[in-house]
Amino acid sequence: MPKITVTAPFNYAIGPTVKHYAKGEQDVPQAVAEHAAAHGFTAKPKTPTEPLEAKQ
């Protein structure tokens, strides 16, 4: 299971079952991780502040 950092709490439903995910680091199924990323409930990936060529 992927580990994600939830930045905004959300609910995820599978059929009649609804699970609440609170803020913080969570181990979640892949489908939940994809849902959270698609809807902005997780932290954005960090981007490098300088190009790789500049480090040489």
Q: Single out the residue of 47, 44, 11, 51 nearest to residue 28, CA to CA.
A: 11
HSE (side-chain half, CA atoms, 13 Å) at 40: 0
* Residue ranges covered by each domain of the chain: 3-43
- Full-model pTM: 0.73
Facing residues of 5 across strands? 25
Q: pLDDT digit of tens for each residue in the chain (56 aa)?
A: 889 999 999 999 999 999 999 999 999 999 999 999 999 999 876 666 656 565 55
